[in-house]
Structures are given as C-alpha cells and as structure tokens.
Amino acid sequence: MDPQPIIEFSNFTFQYFSQAEPTLHDINLKIYPGEKILIVGPSGSGKSTLGHCLNGLIPFSYRGEISGSLKINGLETRELNIFKLSKLVGTVLQDSDGQFVGLTVGEDIAFALENDNVPTPEMRARVRQVAGMVEMDALLGSSPFELSGGQKQRTSLAGVMIDEVPILLFDEPLANLDPATGKTAIEIIDDIHNQSGKTILIIEHRLEDVLHRAVDRVLVIDDGRILADLNAHALVASTILQQVGVREPLYVTALKYAGVQVTEAMQAGHIETLKTEFSRAALQTWYGGIQAGGRVNERPSILKMEAVSFSYDGLRPVLQDIDIDIREGEMVSIVGKNGAGKSTLSKLLCGFEQEDRGRILYYGADIKDKSIKERAEIIGLVMQNP
C-alpha cells in the first residue's frame, strides 16, 4: 500500500484581500512523511505564501480568499485552529530575533514545554537533549540576542524541535548567514532529518548552498504556480532555473562556460556526486585560456581608512588596524564570515560609531568631526533590513 501524504494540496488557490490577483494558482502537490523538500523561486513567486499556508500564518495572520483543499496529516487545515496547526508544523523564520520569547537560550527552547506544564526535571533534561542536537548546550545561559546569526538560528530550530512536530519548515534559513555558517546550518538540518525522520521543507533561493546536502525533490515556483518538481540532478540539467531567474550552482555555470553539455547522467545536482570524466578536459582547456584582469585605473582616492581600530566594550577588538583605499568609480565588495566586522566597518564610515584609533578620510580630509547628517550627504547606506 502506498504511504499517505503528510501534506496534500488539491486545486489550492489563495488570494490576499489586498491583492487584485491570486498569489497561488491551482496548486496540486503531495509531500510524503520523511521527505526533504527544497522550494525555490524568484522574489514574489509565492514560495513564502505557500509556507504561510502550511504553518497557519494564512489565514490567521494574513487574510485572504482560499479555494481548494490543503490537508496536513490527513486533516483539512481550514478546520484547524492555529494551536493545532502549531503541533503539526514548526517554523524557523528568516528573522530569528522576531521568534525569541525567552531571556536566555534555555528559556527560549523550553517555552513550549512550559506552556504544556511539563515537570521541571523532565523539561531541563529535554532542553539539554535538544540543545545538544543543535550544538547549543554550552550556551543555554546566554541571551539569544547576543548570539551570532548561526547560533540564533540553531536556538530557533531547537525551540520548534522540542515540541516534536512531524514537519519542520525553514523560511529562507540562509538569508542572514555567510557561506561558511550557511553550510554548517544545512549540515545541522540534514543531521536532524537523518536522526528524526521528520518531514523537512526548506524555502530558499541560495540553491547551491542548500544542495550542499542531498534533498529528495526540488520544487520550482514562479508566478504562484509549480513549474517543476524534480530531483536536483534533473533540475540543474534543465533550463528552468534560467527561465525563472534563480541562480544555478556556480560549478554548473563553469561547466557551461567550458562548453560542457550538462546532463542528468552527470549527477551535477551535488558537487560531491558530479561525474567529472564528462568534463575534466573541457574545464582544463577553458581554465587555461582565462586571462588575468587588468589593474584598476589610477583614479583619485575618495574614501580611505588608515590604521582604524574599534572595540564596542574597550576590551575585545572588532576591527584592528584596517587600511582601505577606495578610488572614484570603484565597485568594492566587503566579504567575511558572520561576526567578522563588516557591519561595524559600515557603522564607522557612516558615523554611527567612532573609531578608537586611526583616521577615515574623504578626498584626503579627516571626517572624524562630521556629524551623522553631514556624513549622510556623502555616504549613502542601504540597510539589510529596510
């Protein structure tokens, strides 16, 4: 006998009351217990709306008109309240700060158990167990708001896991994480999947990072419709990602630049499974013909940092002896892992914080005495969270 789906959309359509057209159109989808599903699509495609329908944010927080059917664990969701839905689907939000309810990591993880009046000894043991699964057992006494991006996400994950829900939904879990921390997050999600057998849904546009670990299927959504439901190998061998504007894995792009025809047989959905005998010679020829880039034009220096150092508490340096020279018309990328000091550097440039040592120069003039308003006239800032 075939297993019953744990999630089943049947001719499901949803339209926000504030919108003139439906956001989801005639969705038909079955997801089975224990599957690990990646949902990708461009911004505005409807992928997050699909997730909101699963966790109850639609219709309880975001109102709209629903037609068709959505069943979770065989239950019609329109007949369930938000509490019953929360016992079926646990959600790790993109913004972990908005999910915290406790003053410490331990309190936050224990929140659901406290609501269920679980005895304290049992609660403490369960919190330690789940915290250990996400490698947060050493930080149970820390404030969740003082954690790194990756640690915040692990705390949120532990908070939904402790309720033993059968479905875990991750809404853009990598959005605020650097590549290394994102890789670790995907490894933890994969470990949880292997250990618990839970059904896992990951809504994410960073396809290559999620495919660091295997998924059962990839759903591609665009304009509120499911365009593809494929395994990773078949997806990257198709043209669907280019059609909808989702970036394919960079190694797949490199193969195409080298003139390699990517096929499903090459198993290019994961770099670890890629069969290189199909492409090694072409890649070596292409790479050998790449010319090094030229030197940057010698334009005037517009923004310069000289031996800049900064610490928030006067004890632990965040930036040390930073020297940067940015010239007119240059496009400069500042990269680094979470907590490396990228945002702090931006705060110093904009005047939100003052450097402890060193100088910041604009066309050779020290801007230390310029107010935030005066700096805003020469340095514009587009923030991560508008």
Report the pLDDT value the prediction gives residue 290, as an integer from 0 to 100.
Answer: 66
Phi–psi pair at 229, nearest 5 degrees: -140, 90
Any idea what the Cα angle at residue 311 is, between residues 368 and 374, rounded to 5°?
Answer: 25
Q: What is the pLDDT of residues 348-360, one digit of tens each?
A: 999 999 999 999 9
Non-local (6+) Cβ contacts of 183 within 8 A are: 209, 212
In contact, 269 and 231? CB cutoff 8 Å:
yes
Beta strands in the chain (DSSP E): 7-16, 24-31, 36-40, 64-72, 75-76, 89-92, 167-171, 199-203, 217-222, 225-230, 301-311, 317-327, 357-362, 365-366
Residues 154, 151: Cα–Cα separation, whole Å: 5
Confidence class for position 295, pLDDT limits 50, 70, 90: low
Confidence class for position 308, pLDDT limits 50, 70, 90: very high
Range 259-278 average pLDDT: 84
In contact, 196 and 158? CB cutoff 8 Å:
no
In contact, 51 and 9? CB cutoff 8 Å:
no
Annotated domain spans of the chain: 7-244, 250-288, 301-376
Query: How far from 204 is each of 41, 173, 285, 297, CA to CA, in Å?
Result: 8, 7, 34, 38
In this structure, CATH architecture of domain 301-376: 3-Layer(aba) Sandwich (3.40)
Range 50-70 average pLDDT: 94
Q: What is the pLDDT of residues 137-186, one digit of tens each?
A: 888 999 988 887 778 888 988 888 888 889 999 998 888 777 888 888 89
In contact, 251 and 278? CB cutoff 8 Å:
no
Chain centroid to Cα 284, Å, comes to 33
Confidence class for position 340, pLDDT limits 50, 70, 90: confident
Confidence class for position 285, pLDDT limits 50, 70, 90: confident
Q: Please report, rounded to a whole number, the percentage of residues in the chain having pLDDT higher than 70.
A: 96
SS3 per-residue string spanning 18-31 = CCCCCCEEEEEEEE
Residues 207, 39: Cα–Cα separation, whole Å: 9
Strand partners, 14: 24, 66
Q: What is the pLDDT of residues 224-236, one digit of tens each?
A: 999 999 999 999 9
The mean of the pLDDT values for the chain is 89
Report the pLDDT value the prediction gives residue 292, as an integer from 0 to 100.
Answer: 56
- Tell me if 7-244 shares its fold with 301-376: yes
Which residue matches tokens 């999947």? 193
Range 82-107 average pLDDT: 87
Sort 349 into a burial class: Cβ within 10 Å, 0-12 / 13-18 / 19+. Answer: buried
What pTM value is reported for the model? 0.78
Report the pLDDT value the prediction gives residue 294, as an integer from 0 to 100.
Answer: 53
Residue 91 tokens read as 């959600």
Non-local (6+) Cβ contacts of 386 within 8 A are: none
Range 286-290 average pLDDT: 70
In this structure, CATH architecture of domain 7-244: 3-Layer(aba) Sandwich (3.40)
